[in-house]
A and B are shown apart, each in its own frame.
Chain A
């Protein structure tokens, strides 16, 4: 039934074409006729020896061809051979000196891939390969195809051609929902185009035009059967050490993220335009989530995945993160930017091209020097604001994973803490009722790690909600822990307002306690509580190695004593759960053990403070008075040394994160497939371009 209907629609399309073309567009009709010939006759070249030559001289009718392929009956052996033949001739045409033929061959190939896959969705990968290329010749044909694509990508030829090549590859890579089931990619593994991608990224002008597609392609290829076999793209990406290339990759990511940040900011400004709009915004947010909706620019997971793979796999890439950016492309501007690609690039947020090749940094004093890491932090701060939407949740999770990798890297830590590299990082903060939006200008210039800390604190205080993002909180607390471990190890005394972190963490515990029942149904809240308590233990026992001043140590005690109720309650709750039999018995008892020093502090200082108040007849002690009590009573307090406070589990993608990445890649594939459009590359533009060349 279904195929019948499709056949009818095909008929209609063809018929329509025929009718209109009979008057003028004979060309179109001819190409359709020729397609038909391929699917009906024995060998189209028999009757017309120049059949293939002519075919590739004609404008491709993608729609028709794809539809035709989809409607085919898969069992027709004869048709299979003709399809193989079409594929073969497409590959041959790629080497033709006529650029038009190359263009048409590329587009035809694209339609072939799509059509055949669409038709044989349920078939195994091998059957599809057989249908497309023919088993016996597949290895050779695919090798030829990849070689042709490689030389087209690396050659001095037209930029539009390169663009088409990348689109074809993207089309091929995303033709299945699950990239790992796309067996034909084995040939792309064997016949690597990795070097071609690198070359595109290392060259300034080609990067400006194709960098985005190249980076997305690379990110996808790296994820092909990542966990099952050795993927040469992973191996190769991990050892790239050419700085120009790595910088290029960084630039592409930087541009895409910057563009996102800019779009977001524009929308934000639109929304907060004047008094009235702020008012409506307030009212609006009260009733419908309309304002939020407006603000959400769709995230770009493909580019984020590329950043993750680069950071995770390639240690050299870490240096790129700190590379200052606005003026990086000092090299010559590309010859022309306008004519080639009027396409909407892949994904959802097209990077604006003109930003890519800024010959020299404008001498604008207000222009902040930036780098990829800063841009990424800003991006993260926007993405993390709202994690309700599935895509944003994924993006936020990926951001935190990337930050985890960064926090574990020694070199990254070195520049995060570099006292000479101070920046103002304007993170986006969620507008909340109980706090004002911090004025941007007041942010001091500090080492980058402060911005990371701020981001973490910001996340902690803004996500205590019903749909508790447990895993994000865990990652968040772990990132903080890793950074503090580094500071302890290297004795770096960061001048950071630790108090904000302490109170955020205490509030988090408070939230966990008050929502115990609902949260315990879904999450192991004791694990998170344990992490939080251990952070405090780090400060209590190793504070001498990384706190900036003696008074900051006093403040830590002050904060613990001030909020002692939270710790008391946590202890009671953990004790209660640990005495019951149940799944939380063990984690809960761990929390009670971890609390030993916090409790010692509370129990030691509380009576002292009370007696101080009694002696001096003060009902409410001031902060200074409490601090005074704290300072004078250290010596009688004994703490217990706890094991392994400064040890952490290193991040590893396998096996914990595999599920997440599989799903992520699937969603990226779908998105890319949806957006890859060959039609938009207007034939006229190409014709114009090539008429002068050939």
Chain B
């Protein structure tokens, strides 16, 4: 066994080490970094033991069944998937060996696999596996010959297998192998292995997975499809995300091929809504077998039926698995908590409400684009949204949110049209009610806008509130009202109108000091005198107290809305909302983009997110804010807005101050805690985004595309020009990133400590990013497949990207590089030139 391990080729060793998570002992870094297996791998390490330990102990899963249904699917899946992986790997070995002439033995391999499992995890339960697999194998004769031919290859496979089964094997590596491996078996193995990762981890790579599914060969597709189908059955949200991404990433294909492509077919399948959880048949099946350990029993026949083709078999298996677990879970849930959902009639419309919701949002955007002025757009937007409100609440949600919820209301008057020349992106705020599961929790009941009146009426007049049901049943005869019922004399109705939210009942804080005085003066009857000068002074003081609100500008309606502090907005909207009193009320916001391709934005988001987690892992205090992107088609989507942030352009236009003066105005004087914190935030975010801009070659960096949040962070938005594309290819913005004198001023000048800190952060960030380069490259590289996006223009996109990580440089050389870039950017007249250009053409300061 030791021998075989030694035979491993250097290339594989390298591959193993290159895979980021395996690099716990690799390159010495200047920064202390925690040993990687334990940190940052939590998702995997937590699920992997359960995967390998699940089999021997058959009782835990059963416990889980009796307790919570949610976990059940995971337990069974990982277990089965792991088994399947091993089978597939062995299959691979046979297939491989077919082509080779060297005699090989199967046995060592098997022993090998088991042995190393034992040695690593010390689980006797694993011993079951070989025998079981042996039983299932086709005629022994062929196996033997295969075994004989296997020998040489086995070492490589065992290494791979060890890697795949190791705790270090995470989703990033899985995606990488899926993409790079040319072996169908490995791909199929990984396809199965996907089941063992946490959903959230895989979701991050969903664009990559689907792009591979669309644009790569059939084996990859076959490996991915079972997982996707399985998840689609589980979740409406996932189904829709898949459908949207499939549509968007197929759009670059020729129409003719697109129509028959696998991506289009899968999309159709999902949208046909045939991928539903649970069918009656499957449920009966799992109920029949005696309690202990149903999945293995269930599998054995399946394997025999389907013979040798590994991909087909795994597909079948995972599918049945999926349905079993899902049906069980959903059935339990339905009967227990929400009997309404049980009716099979509401299943066909599983996806419809959400699709309709998105469709109407996009429709609004399209119609807005036809209107000439911002003012008309805003008015129209408000009225369109008020109509949308009539259809809410519904089983719809914002896919950009991090929690399950139902949308209950769109406070239409709060919506604003964003600045754009010919399209009409708009920002809406959405009131939602958090819930356990948006698919199964019941949709909230509609509460009319003026709830106080109606609740009151229902209480007082039980026999007058005629429900539609009563109405439908028969002609209603209203009893003669006895006149004793004074509660409903006309005057009382008038009085009810007086009773209104907060202000009327307890309005002390709303009444100015004077009114309080005036009330007390009634008692004392002594004349109270006031100075006219005080009134005038108070007026100017109060107006001065609120300098941070922006003035209303019909040409820039979003500025005011975005400037308002988020918490304040939430409070304000909550107060005005009929749903505001509910404890699970939340406010979300989303930008609806219609006519814009957000695929590049999504790519940038992924890269930013990846770098953010790398920096977090390497403890480099760089600050960036990846904002969520939802691609709905190749020309529409949604963006999660950055709250409490306005663009630097808006800041400068509204305040008429330099950036530094604005900081002083907003946060206080140089020495104040608030200013220093804001300054540090500014530096950390600036360094982060400078690196991003350099690595991704983000262009079109005018002040309208850089936001400043209330804590002093800058946030770059609009990644429409990255990698190989730049606006109009004018050759502007040749500097590495945007660093204006104003920025440097906020940092305290070129000689300040903060500026040095800034450069140091950049260096650390670059070193950290370099260490995990593969994880970044991988995201971009896979998305290049079959893509016509401008950011992939030309042939050298990936090579150039790799070069910008400067793998070959020493840290000292890197430091020099950073110095050079900072110097260059500061001195660069092109940045200034570009800002001037933007000012001339678009009026952006």
Interface, chain A (partner B; CB < 8 A): 143, 146-147, 150-151, 189-192, 194-195, 199, 226-227, 229-230, 232, 234-236, 238-239, 241, 243-244, 247, 312-313, 315-316, 318-319, 322-328, 330, 363, 365, 368-369, 371, 408-411, 414-415, 418-423, 445, 488-491, 493, 540-545, 547, 549-550, 553-554, 601, 634-646, 650-654
Contacts and interface: CB of A to CB of B under 8 A. Distances in A.
Contacts of B416: 420
A638 B539 contact: no
Contact of A190 (B382, B450, B466, B478): B478
A191 B475 CA distance: 9
Nearest to A445: B375
B760 interface: no
A674 B531 CA distance: 64
B386 A227 contact: no
A601 B535 CA distance: 14
Interface centre among A410, A541, A651 (most CB of B within 10 A): A410
Interface in B553-571: 554, 561
Interface in B485-542: 485, 488-491, 493-494, 496-498, 500-501, 503-504, 507, 510-512, 514-515, 517-518, 521-522, 527-533, 535-536, 538-540, 542
B518 A324 contact: no
Give the top 3 A-B pairs by smallest Cβ distance, nearest first: A324-B383, A634-B533, A635-B533
Contacts of A601: 532
Contacts of A316: 448-450, 453-454
Nearest to B557: A420
Interface in B444-488: 448-450, 453-454, 457-458, 461, 464-466, 471, 475-481, 483, 485, 488
Contacts of A650: 494, 498
A637 B464 contact: no
Interface in B715-757: none
Interface stretch (B364-372, B434-442, B667-675): B364-372
A199 B471 CA distance: 10
Given A543-B535, A641-B530, A646 B515 contact: yes
14 contacts: A192-B477, A199-B471, A230-B488, A324-B382, A365-B371, A369-B376, A369-B383, A489-B507, A491-B510, A542-B512, A542-B515, A635-B533, A637-B532, A653-B494
B379 A411 contact: no
A226 to B, nearest CB: 7
Given A192-B476, A365-B376, A550-B536, A645 B450 contact: no
Given A319-B449, A545-B512, A550-B540, A191 B490 contact: no
Nearest to B454: A241
B543 interface: yes
B517 to A, nearest CB: 6
A332 B379 CA distance: 24
B546 to A, nearest CB: 10
A232 B482 CA distance: 11
Nearest to B446: A243
A553 B536 contact: yes
Given A319-B448, A408-B497, A635-B533, A239 B454 contact: yes
Contacts of B111: none
B493 A411 contact: no
B476 A195 contact: yes
User: Which DSSP category, helix, strand, loop or mixed, fits chain B's interface?
Assistant: helix
B514 A641 contact: yes
A644 B501 CA distance: 22
Contact of A423 (B379, B477, B518, B540): B379
A411 B464 contact: no
Contact of B386 (A323, A554, A640, A652): A323
Given A550-B539, A634-B532, A634-B536, 9 more contacts: A146-B475, A199-B471, A229-B481, A316-B449, A330-B387, A369-B383, A491-B510, A643-B522, A646-B515
A171 to B, nearest CB: 21
Interface residues of B, number: 81
Contacts of B817: none
Contacts of A409: 497, 500
B485 A230 contact: yes
B413 A420 contact: yes
A195 B477 contact: no
Nearest to A493: B543
Contact of A639 (B476, B531, B543): B531
Given A641-B517, A645-B518, A239 B461 contact: yes
Nearest to A149: B475
Interface in B360-402: 367, 370-372, 375-376, 378-380, 382-384, 386-387, 390
A319 B412 CA distance: 13
Contacts of A410: 500-501, 503-504
B466 A553 contact: no
A429 B448 CA distance: 37
Contacts of A247: 390
Given A229-B483, A653-B494, A151 B514 contact: no
B476 A541 contact: no
B478 A232 contact: yes
Nearest to A601: B532
B190 to A, nearest CB: 49
B576 interface: yes
B536 A318 contact: no
A527 to B, nearest CB: 21
Nearest to A230: B481
Given A410-B500, A639-B531, A650-B494, A369 B379 contact: yes
B536 A544 contact: yes
B514 A313 contact: no
A491 B512 CA distance: 9
B552 interface: yes
Contacts of A194: 478
Nearest to B540: A550
Contacts of A239: 454, 457-458, 461, 464-465
A680 B817 CA distance: 92
A640 B528 CA distance: 6
B457 A238 contact: yes
Contacts of A227: 490
B176 interface: no
Contacts of A363: 367, 370-371
Contacts of A418: 413
Contacts of A445: 375, 379, 554
Given A147-B475, A190-B480, A323-B386, A641 B375 contact: no
B464 A235 contact: yes
Contact of A234 (B375, B490, B512, B531): B490
Interface centre among B370, B494, B507, B531 (most CB of A within 10 A): B494
Given A365-B376, A545-B512, A553 B535 contact: yes
B617 interface: no
Given A418-B413, A638-B532, A490 B503 contact: yes
B414 interface: yes
A150 B476 CA distance: 10
A634 B540 CA distance: 13
B433 to A, nearest CB: 19
Given A192-B476, A415-B413, A650-B498, A226 B490 contact: yes
B515 A315 contact: no
A661 to B, nearest CB: 11
A234 B387 CA distance: 28
Contacts of B521: 641, 643
B543 A549 contact: yes
Given A363-B367, A638-B532, A643-B518, A421 B372 contact: no
Contact of B535 (A146, A244, A544, A653): A544
Contact of B387 (A241, A244, A327, A488): A327
Nearest to A363: B370
B529 A639 contact: yes
A606 B148 CA distance: 117
Contacts of A232: 464, 478, 481
A652 B494 contact: yes
